[in-house]
Structure 1
């Protein structure tokens, strides 16, 4: 598994824990990384993603929610919600990663961390968002 995939998985796990338990003290954040045992490069990439998602959560949710079709983002499974936020952050703010890569990575993370249909669900939502956020991309 590559460092970006590991970083994305760690970021989703952190965002999930942060959502469940609220703000973390610096000591609690460090404990997460001790438990996760990530390499320095993986941690650096994950922290970039984490900060980006946390700083832009309302913007990301505003991009996701209209695509959910009669469903509110808060009703999604927490893993799916955080996978989507992370992927939409990358689609909107990390242009050097191709949309197809962002979507495929999100699908694989949703499959490994989410419930039965998480991969398919994430796939459908992200394809719609990618068409709006990166219209010239072949996602």
Structure 2
């Protein structure tokens, strides 16, 4: 497993813990680091991702909502919602990461942590975001 994939796994778990536990991002990051002792490089990437998601959360959620037809953010599972947030952050704000990588990584996270329907759900929304907001929009 690659360093960045591990970082994305950590980021997802930290965002999940933040949302479900109702705690700050910093507290969720500290809890993760203290109890699970991740590799410094993977954790550094996870911190970059989670801080970016939180910094741009309003815009990220607005974009996800625009392309998740018939699915309000609140109705999505916490896992799917946070996978979408991570990948949307990468698509919109991390030009150093190829869009195809961001989408493929999100689908992999959905396979690992989501339900049977999560990979197709995540892929469909991210594909729409890519085609309308990244490839043709920005």
Alignment size in residue pairs: 136
Unpaired runs of 5+ residues, structure 1, are none
- TM-score of the superposition, structure 2-length normalised? 0.92
* 1:26 CA drift (Å): 5.3
Q: SS at the partner of 2:23?
A: coil
**What are the superposed Cα offsets for residues 81-129 of structure 1, whole Å, 9 maximum, x if unpaired?**
0000000000001111111110000000011011111111101110000
Contact 1:111 1:119 in 2 (8 A): yes
User: Hey, what does 2:94 align to over in structure 1?
Assistant: 94
Provide TM-score, normalisation by structure 1.
0.91
Q: Secondary structure at the match of 1:134?
A: helix
Q: 1:94 to 1:27 in 2, by over 3 A?
A: closer
> Taking structure 1 as reference, are residues 67 and 30 closer, same or farther at Cα in structure 2, changes over 3 Å only?
same
Aligned to 1:42: 42
Q: Report the CA distance between 1:52 and its aligned residue.
A: 0.4
- 1:31 corresponds to 2:34: no
Structure 2 unaligned spans of 5+: none
The Cα of 1:35 is off from its aligned counterpart by 2.5
Alpha carbon RMSD of aligned pairs, Å?
A: 1.5
Q: Secondary structure in 2 aligned to 1:71? A: coil
Report deviation, 1:29: 3.4
> Any runs of at least 4 consecutive aligned residues in structure 1 with deviations exceeding 4 A, and if so which?
25-28
